[in-house]
Structure formats: C-alpha cells, structure tokens
Amino acid sequence: MKTIEWLGDSLRILDQTKLPVESVYLWTKSYEDVAGAIEHMQVRGAPAIGATAAYGFALGALAYEGSREGLDAYMEKVSARLESTRPTAVNLFWALRRMQDTLREARSVEDLAEVRKLLVQEADKIADDDRRMNRLLGEHGNALVPPKAAILTHCNAGSLATVDYGTALGVVRAAVAAGKEIKVYADETRPFLQGARLTAWELMQDGIPVTLIADNMAGFLMQQGKVDLVIVGADRIAANGDTANKIGTYSLAVLAHVHGIPFYVAAPTSTIDLKMAGGQDIPIEERAGKEIREFRGIPVAPADVPVYNPAFDVTPAKYITGIISEKGVVSPPYSVNFLKIMVRPS
Ligand code: MRU
C-alpha cells in the first residue's frame, strides 16, 4: 500500500493512525487538509512529511483563485501553514524550500496554469528522489549487515515513513534481498506505538521475520546477546552528527554503547541540517498529554495527571557508529565527513 499518491488534483494518504486495524485512505484536496493530516500524524516520518508538504504546497497553488501578481504572497501563507505543522523533522522545511525555490524561478512565467504545472512537477521530483535515495541508502547499509543478523529498530523508519522502501527498514529490505538471514526486533515505541502498529505490520506484510518488544526490554535483549546491530532513522541530524529521532532512541544508543553493539542511523542527506551546529539547537516537538494518558480514547492513567511528552530526543554523535546515507556510510568525525559527502553527487 502506498504511503502517499498524487492523483492529479488531490493527494491520497494512507491514514497511519488507523493501522494496523484498518487500512483506509484520506483524500486531501487542499493545503489545509494536508497540514491537518501531518499535524494529526495520519502521515508521519521525516521523508514522508517532506514529500506530503510539497504536494500540499502544490495543492495551495491549484486552489488559488487570484491574479498571477498575488500568487507569491498567497503561497507564503500556504508555506507558513505547512511549516507550522511539526517542528523537528527538517525534511519538511527542506521540501518546502525546494517548492519555494521553484516558485521563485518561475517568477517570469505569466501563465498560472504553467506555474502550477511546474510546482506539481517539483513535488513529483521530491517524491521520486526519495524513492531512489532510499534504494541507494539500503544498498550502502547492506554492506554493514552480517550474513545472519538480528537488527533492533525503533519507531517506524520504513516505507510508511517515506514515499517508499524506507531508511532503516530500507537497509533491512536490501539485506533480505541480498539473501541474508535477517531477524528484526521492533520496539513498540511508546506513546504513539509506531513500532507496534506500523513497523511490525509493514515487515509482516513483506514476510520479513519480526519480533515485537516493549521499549523497556531492549537492554535485557542486548545483555542476552540477542542483538547484533541497531539501525534507526532520523528527523534531523546536526552538523556535528548529533541526531534527533523518536523519543527513546537516545536510551537505545547508550545501551548499545555499553554492550558494544554497533548503532547506525539511516537517513537521506536531506535530513542533515548543517545550519544546526549541535543537537542542543534542534527544536524538539512536545505533543499533547493525552497521547500518554490515553490510547485511542481509552484512559491508561489518571485523567488529570501532569504529563511531559517530548516526541523526539537527541542522540549525541559519540554514540553513533555511522550514518548511512544515499551517498555512502559516513563515519566520525561527522563535522568533517559531512562536508565531503554533501558536495558528492548521489
Ligand atoms: O513522530 P514520527 O512518527 O513522525 O517520528 C518518526 C521518526 O522518528 C522516524 O524514525 C524518522 O522520521 C525517520 S523516518 C525514515
């Protein structure tokens, strides 16, 4: 099932809040619909959010009814709304910047229909690039995976979090395709349960062996020697390699370090934000307390208990063995080695 699909005048989104119980689609017909779907996490995962926002931008232009002169100012409003949805994944801002650049390059194009066409083409290109990059990233990551491996992952960095194939799960898919004997341990990933609801479902759909564990079991599995390597995705990687990813990633990285287990981050270079010197600069989204107090409307805690709900944490670069990108595997020191790959074509 496709995470997102452009239908010419609307964007079809697989509603991830309903998985794995129901597989239902949302038809987003306006940029507001798209912003709502990102905010409510009906579509989530850094690269998927980026591509979705790009189509949201295109939908804004498609629905615009004013003159050519007024378009740029209107699109600033559209972009600001889409940017306001989620703060941590840099791919959202990266994709919207590409859309804004396309609009700027089209400033001499008088015909609105032509401008709209260029914007849809750019959104298609962002989506196509994502598909292509994930395959490349998967191949690079596969080189790090032994012929027989138990891989622990957190959250969902699979095809559901991207346009297709996935980043961390892209590496898993490439290793399976190469004939390796792979077993995945999926952390359930409290409180939104992306691991339980999405990673477990996605891998089972593909017939890849997966075992679900509660988040607090990872340390024990490592102690028992059941984990060969950890691979996670990323929402934003700072210039020094510090990595923001789903809350709980930091704990896993420290555990992996203590147990001498390699800990890899798999992400396209669009997730690297050289403007952020270190992890302390990365904005961390805080979500509503009810995500912890309830599950799908069922109370699991006292209704009025105070809650702190950061959606992401930052793993210091010193705990990351390597960063797997579409341009190859980057080793520490990241601040030096990022500069080398950022100029290299993929
Ligand atoms: O809050 P989410 O579900 O959007 O968080 C997703 C993650 O943290 C993923 O690991 C990350 O975006 C990488 S997805 C390829």
The CATH number assigned to the domain holding 62 equals 1.20.120.420
Ligand 1 pocket check for 155: Cβ under 6 Å: yes
Ligand 1 pocket check for 194: Cβ under 6 Å: yes
Structure tokens at 142: 């596969």
Contact 238/277 with Cβ under 8 angstroms? yes
Instruction: Assess whether 23 and 86 both reside in one domain.
Output: yes
Ligand 1 pocket check for 234: Cβ under 6 Å: yes
Instruction: Assess whether 149 and 85 both reside in one domain.
Output: no
Q: Which residues are annotated as a binding site for substrate?
A: 44-46, 86, 194, 245-246
Domain count, the chain: 2
Q: Three-state DSSP class for 232?
A: strand
Instruction: Assess whether 205 and 109 both reside in one domain.
Output: no
Residue nearest to atom 15 of ligand 1 (CA): 157
pLDDT tens profile 199-223 = 999 999 999 999 999 999 999 999 9
Catalytic one of 130, 235, 242, 273: 235
Can you give the pLDDT at residue 142? 98
Ligand 1 atom at shortest distance from the alpha carbon of 194: 3
Average pLDDT over every residue of 269-292: 97
Can you give the pLDDT at residue 296? 87
CATH code assigned at 205: 3.40.50.10470
Q: Residue 332: pLDDT above 70?
A: yes
Instruction: Assess whether 98 and 181 both reside in one domain.
Output: no
Residues 6+ apart with CB under 8 A from 116: 58, 61, 62
Ligand 1 pocket check for 248: Cβ under 6 Å: no
> In angstroms, what is the span from residue 69 Cα to ligand 1's centroid?
38
d(CA 269, CA 273): 9
Q: What percent of the chain has pLDDT over 70?
A: 99
Instruction: Assess whether 56 and 143 both reside in one domain.
Output: no
Structure tokens at 311: 């959606």
Ligand 1 pocket check for 16: Cβ under 6 Å: no
Instruction: Assess whether 126 and 157 both reside in one domain.
Output: no
Confidence label for 1 from pLDDT (cuts 50, 70 and 90): confident
Instruction: Supply the range of the domain harboring residue 16.
Output: 4-134
pLDDT tens profile 271-280 = 999 999 999 9
Average pLDDT over the chain, rounded to an integer: 97
Instruction: Assess whether 126 and 178 both reside in one domain.
Output: no
Of 134, 157, 186, the domain-final residue: 134
pTM for this prediction: 0.97
Of 79, 112, 134, the domain-final residue: 134
Ligand 1 pocket check for 317: Cβ under 6 Å: no
Is residue 295 packed enough to be buried (19+ CB in 10 Å), middle (13-18) or exposed (0-12)?
middle
Strands (E), 196-241: 210-213, 229-232, 236-238
> In angstroms, what is the span from residue 73 Cα to ligand 1's centroid?
31
Q: Which residue has the tokens 């919207």?
A: 96
Q: Three-state DSSP class for 344?
A: coil
Nearest by Cα to 22 from 298, 296, 311: 296
Structure tokens at 61: 């232009």
Q: Is 235 a catalytic residue?
A: yes
Contact 230/258 with Cβ under 8 angstroms? no
ipTM: 0.98
Q: Residue 39: pLDDT above 80?
A: yes
Structure tokens at 282: 């990365």
> In angstroms, what is the span from residue 247 Cα to ligand 1's centroid?
10
Confidence label for 194 from pLDDT (cuts 50, 70 and 90): very high
Can you give the pLDDT at residue 345? 67
Instruction: Assess whether 90 and 154 both reside in one domain.
Output: no
Ligand 1 atom at shortest distance from the alpha carbon of 155: 10
Q: Residue 85: pLDDT above 80?
A: yes
Q: Residue 20: pLDDT above 70?
A: yes
Instruction: Assess whether 129 and 190 both reside in one domain.
Output: no
Contact 198/158 with Cβ under 8 angstroms? yes
Structure tokens at 241: 């390699």
Instruction: Assess whether 166 and 67 both reside in one domain.
Output: no
Of 134, 165, 196, the domain-final residue: 134
Q: CA 292: distance to chain centroid?
A: 21
Average pLDDT over every residue of 152-159: 98
d(CA 250, CA 248): 6
Q: Residue 342: pLDDT above 90?
A: no
Instruction: Assess whether 143 and 130 both reside in one domain.
Output: no
Residues 6+ apart with CB under 8 A from 206: 173, 176
